[in-house]
Amino acid sequence: MEQPAARPRLLTSSYRVNPGDELEVYVWGEERLQRTVRVLPDGTFAFPLVGQVMAQGRLLQELEKTISEQLRDQYRGQVPQVTVSVKSPSGLQFSIIGKIKSPGTFTPGRYITILEALSLAGGPADFANLDAILVIRKHGDQLSTIRFRLSSLFRSGAGDAEIERANLQRIETGDTIIVP
C-alpha cells in the first residue's frame, strides 16, 4: 500500500514589524502597486488605494490580509495575491549601557539573546556585575524590567544547568540593557 504524498508545509514568519523597518509590498499582476515602504515612528505606512496601514507589532501574514481586504473594493473579481516581505529589518534596535566595552545602540538585523547582545557590545568590561544585568522593556507607554544573572556562564565549564538558569531571553526592539 502506497503512502499518500506529504503536503508541502508553508512556512510562516514569526517576525513582528517594527518602526524603521523597510518592507516590500507586492500585489501580483499589478506592477503599479509594488512598493518599498518604510514603517514610520508611529508604526504605520501609506499604501496606494489603501491609505495608512498600522504595521507595528504585526506579522507579515496579517499585513498581507489587511491590504487584500482593503483592496477588495477596487476589484470586481478576486483580489490579486498580496505579498509583504522585510527588505531591511532596521527597526529592530536595542541599546546597551554601563560597564560594557562598546556601549551604544545596535541594529542586529535578527532576533538575538541577552548573551549575543553583550557580545555585539564587545563583552563586559572589567568589574562588570554580571549578576545584576537589567533590561528595561517598553510595552506601549508602560515599562517593565527583567533581571539577568550571567556570571556563571563566563566561568570555565558552564554546562546545561547554568545555561538554563541564565534565562537567555530574546532581546526585543526598544530594549535598554544596563550592565552595572
**pLDDT tens profile 150-171:** 888 877 667 777 777 777 888 9
pLDDT digits (tens, 9 = 90+) for 68-98: 999 988 888 888 899 999 998 888 899 999 9
- CATH 3.30.1950.10 in the chain is located at 22-88
Give the model's confidence band at 111: pLDDT under 50 very low, under 70 low, under 90 confident, else very high.
Answer: confident
Q: Is the pLDDT of residue 109 over 90?
A: no
Per-residue pLDDT, averaged over 110-130, amounts to 93
Q: Which residues contact 77 (CB under 8 A, 6 or more apart)?
A: none
The CATH T-level fold of domain 94-179 is: Outer membrane lipoprotein wza fold like (3.10.560)
Place of cell 523597518: 21
- CATH 3.10.560.10 in the chain is located at 94-179
Q: Which residues contact 148 (CB under 8 A, 6 or more apart)?
A: 114, 133, 134, 135, 166, 167, 169
CATH 3.60.130.10 is held by the domain 22-88: no
